[in-house]
């Protein structure tokens, strides 16, 4: 007992010494960071060194041109004819009315309403919905959907429209990330334990000012500081626009990972740019067609022997022969083929079709997803990118409309397709109306829209009137575009790439 009593004061003294050591270390860290903290505070007050979220370390552009220009009479901003190869005519008042709520919708051809046009895009239906639901306000929904426009091409448009006094930005992107030929050889992938702190440091004002000073000291432009970036032209040049474009797609796991990383980076920076400008953003999680869209290009796994290939071809051929009479046997044959080569997207799609016909919808959905993810020509958003949209929304406290889930809930077995989508990614007119209704519900839930009683009846009436005002030519042209688009996805373009035309690869 005496020995134990003598130990108590000693142990307490040791604890005090340890605690004092920890306090001294923390104080040393705080004192060491104090100059940096003070500098950050001073730079913030003076608004010096604001982090440049708009800089893209992945790609650069040879030129930039505005999407909107002032009309000749100075009353409206409009998309000039020079940019209407990729965009449809659109305009809005140069002087915003006091009671106007202005929404800009950014994205690719899905936003534009392809294969039809803006007149039946969800942006038009949204404006009709809002006018019917809350007539006390003036609603302006501006369509900024560009054909084949990927996320990195939306950033300059976002920066531009932030100068037009927007009340909300709706961002629907993710399908076009793999269209342009570019490399990422200059991107150095640091270990996460190093990359994380570096990323945090790069978003401080002190870092930004030091970097600018370093660039000026070297005598180079800030835009050229990232050596080796591919330089893209002012407008999209999709590989499929030219003869042999489909041949350029080969399995390249590293390129795929880099494209996905680039997309995630763009999502984060667009949300941050808008938030810094004090403008709310609504992200949309895109949907794509699983049930009615075969992979655009399938490729066997590497190192498949001649014997394995012959066996695989025999199994797939026999499955095709018995598919109409014995679906379960076809499934067994295709499963055996997949055991030999699990990387062939086409075999997974055939297996999905068999499962679907048997009513085995969970297995069908999984195989449809496998077929999409293994597509060597990925013209549909990939699963990690869908997840990135949701994670970005959660991490940045940004609202998100999960259109993918909405379409899944409306589809048998949660497998999107059928009447809601006309091709691999583009919603039908009915699908666009569903998106608009869901957006209206979301804005209502967030208190932006104050709907009057019975507004849905007014909406339906106005929607039918609008649909009836469209000419037969409008729908005929849409069908022509759809057929052309199908040929485009199959690599049937006839254009030759002009000699000397930039491909996005650094020299």
What confidence tens digit (pLDDT) does each residue in 116-150 have? 999 999 999 999 999 999 999 999 999 999 999 99
Share of the chain above pLDDT 90, in %: 73
Report helix, strand or coil for 283: strand
Q: Are 68 and 79 in contact (CB under 8 A)?
A: yes
Q: Are 374 and 298 in contact (CB under 8 A)?
A: yes
- Name 69's bridge partners: 78
- 300 φ, ψ (degrees, to nearest 5): -70, 155
Confidence bin at 15 (pLDDT 50/70/90): low
Q: Is the dihedral of CA 365, 371, 373, 378 positive or negative?
A: negative
Q: What is the CATH code of the structural domain delimited by 52-186+226-297+380-507?
A: 3.40.50.1110
d(CA 366, CA 373): 11
d(CA 77, CA 470): 24
pLDDT at position 264: 97
Question: Which contacts of 402-406 are long-range, i.e. CB under 8 A and separated by 24 or more positions?
Answer: 402/285, 403/172, 403/284, 403/285, 403/286, 403/287, 403/435, 403/438, 404/285, 404/286, 404/287, 404/288, 405/285, 406/287, 406/434, 406/435, 406/438
d(CA 125, CA 431): 11
Confidence bin at 215 (pLDDT 50/70/90): very low
Angle, nearest 10°, between helix axes 2-46 and 205-218?
A: 60
pLDDT digits (tens, 9 = 90+) for 439-460: 999 999 999 999 999 999 999 9
DSSP annotation string for 123-192:
HHHHHHHHHHH-TTSEEEEEEEE-TT--HHHHHHHHHHHGGG--SEEEEE--SSTTSB----TT-----H
d(CA 61, CA 281): 25
Residue keyed to tokens 């932030």: 162
Instruction: Report domain extents, the chain.
Output: 15-48, 52-186+226-297+380-507, 306-373
Q: Which of 22-36, 124-138, 171-185, 360-374 has the lowest mean pLDDT?
A: 22-36
Confidence bin at 60 (pLDDT 50/70/90): confident
Taking residues 99-107, report their average pLDDT.
98
Quick one: residue 2, left, alpha or beta (phi over 0 = left, psi -120 to 50 = alpha)? Answer: alpha
- Name 142's bridge partners: 104
Question: Which CATH class, in words, describes the domain spanning 306-373?
Answer: mainly alpha
- CB burial of 212-233 (b: ≥16 within 10 Å; e: otherwise) equals eeeeeeeeeeeeeeeeebbbbe
Could you tell me which of 413, 465, 209 has the C-alpha nearest to residue 201?
Answer: 209
Taking residues 323-350, report their average pLDDT.
97
Q: Is 70 exceeded by the pLDDT of residue 503? A: no
| H-assigned helices in 277-395 | 306-322, 327-340, 345-357, 361-373, 383-395
Taking residues 367-377, report their average pLDDT.
98
Better pLDDT: 211 or 209? 209
pLDDT at position 182: 86
Q: Which of 181-185, 208-212, 243-247, 494-498 has the lowest mean pLDDT?
A: 208-212
Better pLDDT: 253 or 53? 253
Residue keyed to tokens 């080569």: 341
Q: Are 145 and 109 in contact (CB under 8 A)?
A: yes
What does pLDDT average to over the chain? 88
Angle, nearest 10°, between helix axes 253-276 and 151-161?
A: 10
- CB burial of 94-110 (b: ≥16 within 10 Å; e: otherwise) equals eebeeeebbbbbbbbbb
Q: Is 50 exceeded by the pLDDT of residue 504? A: no
d(CA 413, CA 72): 53
Six-digit token string for 452: 């009057």
pLDDT at position 49: 59
pLDDT at position 199: 47
Confidence bin at 494 (pLDDT 50/70/90): confident
Confidence bin at 18 (pLDDT 50/70/90): low
Q: Which of 229-238, 240-249, 258-267, 307-316 has the lowest mean pLDDT?
A: 229-238
Q: Are 425 and 416 in contact (CB under 8 A)?
A: no
Q: Is 50 exceeded by the pLDDT of residue 198? A: no
d(CA 122, CA 105): 10
pLDDT at position 54: 47
- 494 φ, ψ (degrees, to nearest 5): -105, -10
pLDDT at position 57: 79
């Amino acid at each position: 007992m005496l020995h134990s009593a003598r130990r108590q004061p000693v142990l307490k003294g040791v604890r005090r010494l340890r605690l004092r050591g920890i306090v001294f270390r923390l104080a040393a860290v705080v004192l060491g960071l104090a100059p940096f903290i003070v500098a950050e505070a001073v730079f913030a007050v003076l608004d010096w060194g604001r982090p440049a979220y708009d800089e893209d370390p992945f790609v650069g552009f040879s030129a930039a041109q505005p999407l909107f220009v002032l009309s000749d009479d100075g009353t409206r901003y409009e998309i000039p004819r020079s940019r209407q190869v990729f965009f449809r005519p659109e305009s809005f008042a140069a002087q915003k009315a006091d009671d106007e709520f202005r929404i800009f919708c950014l994205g690719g051809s899905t936003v534009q309403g392809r294969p039809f046009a803006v007149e039946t895009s969800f942006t038009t239906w949204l404006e009709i919905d809002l006018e019917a639901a809350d007539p006390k306000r003036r609603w302006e929904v501006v369509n900024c959907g560009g054909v084949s426009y990927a996320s990195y091409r939306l950033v300059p448009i976002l920066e531009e429209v932030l100068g037009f006094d927007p009340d909300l930005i709706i961002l629907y992107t993710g399908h076009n990330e793999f269209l342009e030929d570019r490399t990422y050889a200059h991107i150095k992938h640091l270990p996460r334990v190093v990359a994380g702190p570096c990323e945090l440091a790069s978003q401080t004002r002190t870092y930004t000012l030091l970097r600018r000073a370093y660039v000026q000291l070297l005598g180079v432009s800030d835009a050229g500081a990232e050596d080796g970036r591919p330089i893209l032209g002012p407008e999209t040049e999709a590989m499929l626009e030219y003869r042999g474009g489909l041949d350029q797609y080969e399995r390249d796991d590293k390129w795929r990972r880099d494209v996905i990383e680039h997309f995630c980076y763009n999502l984060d920076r667009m949300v941050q740019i808008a938030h810094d400008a004090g403008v709310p953003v609504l992200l949309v999680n895109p949907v794509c067609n699983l049930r009615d869209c075969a992979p655009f290009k399938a490729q066997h796994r590497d190192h498949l022997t001649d014997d394995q290939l012959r066996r695989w071809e025999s199994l797939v051929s026999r499955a095709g022969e018995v598919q109409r009479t014995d679906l379960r046997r076809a499934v067994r044959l295709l499963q055996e083929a997949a055991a030999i080569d699990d990387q062939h997207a086409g075999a997974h799609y055939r297996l999905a079709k068999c499962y679907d016909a048997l009513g085995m919808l969970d297995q069908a959905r999984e195989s449809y997803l496998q077929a999409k993810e293994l597509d060597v020509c990925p013209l549909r958003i990939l699963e990690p990118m869908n997840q990135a949209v949701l994670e970005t929304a959660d991490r940045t406290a940004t609202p998100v409309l999960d259109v993918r889930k909405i379409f899944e809930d409306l589809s048998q077995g949660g497998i999107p397709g059928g009447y809601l989508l006309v091709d691999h990614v583009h919603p039908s007119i009915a699908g666009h109306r569903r998106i608009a209704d869901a957006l209206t519900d979301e804005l209502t839930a967030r208190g932006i829209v104050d709907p009057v009683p019975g507004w849905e009846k007014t909406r339906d009436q106005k929607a039918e009137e609008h649909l009836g005002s469209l000419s037969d030519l409008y729908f005929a042209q849409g069908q022509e575009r759809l057929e052309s688009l199908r040929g485009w996805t199959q690599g049937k373009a006839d254009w030759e790439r002009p000699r000397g035309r930039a491909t996005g690869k650094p020299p």
